[in-house]
Structure 1
């Protein structure tokens, strides 16, 4: 599960031609934050499938 804990950062994936533009830095920063929120939510949904890792919501659901 350690590989699921890594943060998503889209900035290094930009082509070198746009690295210097501040607009692209800000766009990738906001997109990375949103993808990290989605990633955390999906990990929570995955953990709710197992009794030992389930959250209170997951236990109520089962």
Structure 2
């Protein structure tokens, strides 16, 4: 895989890596892992929300009246 960044992104990434004492690759991999974990968590919350609405539909309908 090739990641193409513009000049501003490359410079910001390089600066951040220098400040943190990590490589640019480490920064990008960390960001990717955080993104994937967050998306997975969001999907789980959505799934549980749908399940809860189905389970409590009659109660929610009565509360909405």
TM score, norm. by length of structure 2: 0.46
TM score, norm. by length of structure 1: 0.48
Larger proportion of helix: 2
Larger Rg: 2
Compare relative contact order (CA 8 Å, sep 6+) and give the higher one, 1 or 2.
Answer: 1
